[in-house]
Amino acid sequence: MLSEREWIVYLKKFVLECDEYDILSTCFDMPIRQAAQLFDLSLSCFKKRCRKCGIKKWPARQINCLMKLKKTSLHVKETEIDECIQNIIIDTEYKIPNHIEKLRQQSYKENKTTII
């Protein structure tokens, strides 16, 4: 396992060789502030780079929500949710299918009512 500093050096080394979108997509599951720190950039500078690559909205919340749904839901096949996550990684503006979106909303409402 690489330390955070080694990881930064590793990523910076391959930024020149690889497509920047591919490198940013490896961090889609972490909050945007954490990803910006990983690349040693300010949040605003990081967002500008994301926009330059065509990433209008950072997909971490959507991906993490789907991963939670995958663990808890009995109504959706894991492969369907994995496919959605892969589609989000390929295209951050991917629209989640209606039946999965409804389950996601239902799961959120159930968790919210159990907290209150």
Task: Give per-residue pLDDT as tens, 89-112.
Answer: 888 889 989 988 888 888 777 776
Please give the Cα distance from 17 to 101 (Å, whole number).
Answer: 37
The full set of domain ranges for the chain reads: 4-52, 60-115
**pTM for this model (two decimals):** 0.71
Task: Give per-residue pLDDT as tens, 33-83.
Answer: 999 999 889 999 999 888 888 889 999 999 998 988 888 877 778 888 899
Distance of CA 73 to the CA centre of its chain: 20
